[in-house]
Amino acid sequence: MTVNPIRVVLALCIWTVLMFAATAFYLWQWLNTPQQVTLKDPVFVIESGASLSTVATELAQQDMLRWPKVWVFYGRLMNLSKIRIGEYQLSEKESPIGLLTRFQTGEQIHYHITLVEGRTMRDFLATLHSHNKLGNTLDGKSYPEIVSALGLAIENPEGYFFPDTYQFVKGDTDRDILLRAHLRMNKILHQEWQNRADNLPYSKPYEALIMASIVEKETGVAYERKEIAGVFVRRLQKHMRLQTDPTVIYGLGEDYSGNLTRADLKRPTAYNTYTINGLPPTPIAMPGKEAIKAALHPASGKALYFVAKGDGSHYFSATLEEHEKAVRQYQLRRRSDYRSSPATGNSEQAGNEVNSDASR
């Protein structure tokens, strides 16, 4: 029997096409089907300089890829070979295409770190350096060195970084977080400055930032921020000393024992608002947005003093006589060692008193 060569060739072509189609379909199914595997390590790291081939080899070693060469071929064919370095959370039901897409888009593990409002620059640095996933580039550096490393045109970094929760990925550093926090603080401060109330005793946004830091440290309950800011603003307008304990404590630094004494109030520092006029030279903490708003939109009124009531809130007074009465009511009966500020029976002379205080 004579075999028709044309039919043979045609049959071979059809068989080849069918086999190719079946193989392509099978591989396509494999590329899109979640892999039912048990991970040796769910965290996969792509280091700097890694290629698609080296990543495929490592994934195959973890049983995440059955056909690594097919995966690499598909990635190059579809122009998905430019993978991003970083740390990725693998799934036991991840498809090969899903993996490739994630490595292409850089969908990495995100970590969070919270910088708390009212904390100092030293506190912020300690928080940043306590996270083992965040690169440490600033530990041990002085404030001038930190400012230089950040490329900022400022002298003292205190107050310049916005307290918030920040996301980061492997490879990010303390410098990255601080730069983001600085940009946010600048944006918020200048937005609020543009919408500030009239007749405030500030000549520039930085002075408002200083006031906001004091308000942040003095506020026990959120709804009193504007009231407290109002007291301090009116005292500045009347050329009265602020006389607020948090500034004294900040000025004492490591010499603060945890108990503020009368001697501390007389100790000369640039931050002792019992002895200096006006605002301290820098912020004393990192204020949040509400404290900044309060400093730029203080409550109206006549109060020049406030005293802690013992529940986190304060009693506000317009006169020294009323304030002394509030001190006796809320403080003297509760604490035998209470340091009255101003001392009961003392008259206050604007800008000259040492033992009187707006916040007691």
Q: Give the SS3 label for residue 86.
A: strand
Residue 109 has pLDDT above 50, yes or no: yes
d(CA 12, CA 6): 10
Length of the chain equals 360
User: Cα(first)–Cα(last) distance of the chain, in Å?
Assistant: 116
Whole-number pLDDT of residue 236: 98
Residue 342 has pLDDT above 60, yes or no: no
205-229 burial by CB neighbour count: b if 16+ within 10 A, else e?
bbbbbbbbbbbbbbbeeeebbbbbb
d(CA 304, CA 324): 12
Q: How much is the mean pLDDT over the chain?
A: 86
Query: Closest by alpha carbon to 67, among 26, 108, 109, 103?
Result: 26
CA distances from 22 to 15, 18, 19 (A): 10, 6, 5
Q: Give the SS3 label for residue 250.
A: helix
Other CB atoms within 10 Å distance of the CB of residue 336? 6
The whole-number average pLDDT for the span 319-335 is 82
What is the chain's Cα-based Rg? Answer: 33
Look at 185 and 32; give whichever has higher pLDDT: 185
Q: Percentage of residues in the chain with pLDDT exceeding 70?
A: 84
Which residue(s) pair with 135 in the sheet? Answer: 173
Q: In order of start, what are the domains of the chain with their CATH numbers?
A: 34-109 (3.30.1490.480), 111-190 (no CATH), 205-332 (no CATH)
Where residue 353 falls among pLDDT bands split at 50, 70, 90? very low
Q: How many CA atoms lie within 13 A of 348 on its CB side?
A: 27
Contact 102, 166 (CB under 8 A): no
d(CA 53, CA 280): 60
Whole-number pLDDT of residue 135: 94
pTM: 0.81
Which residue(s) pair with 111 in the sheet? Answer: 168
Peptide bond into 342 cis (omega under 30): yes
The whole-number average pLDDT for the span 88-92 is 84
Whole-number pLDDT of residue 257: 87
125, two tokens:
């640095």
The phi, psi pair for 139, rounded to 5°, reads: -60, 130
Alpha helices in 62-204 (DSSP H): 68-77, 96-105, 121-130, 143-150, 174-194
Where residue 347 falls among pLDDT bands split at 50, 70, 90? very low
d(CA 92, CA 84): 21
Q: What angle do CA 94, 100, 103 make, to 5 degrees?
A: 105
Calculate the CA 162 to chain-centre distance.
6
Where residue 16 falls among pLDDT bands split at 50, 70, 90? confident
* 130-177 per-position pLDDT tens digit: 999 999 999 999 999 999 999 999 999 999 999 999 999 988 999 999
Residue 349 has pLDDT above 50, yes or no: no
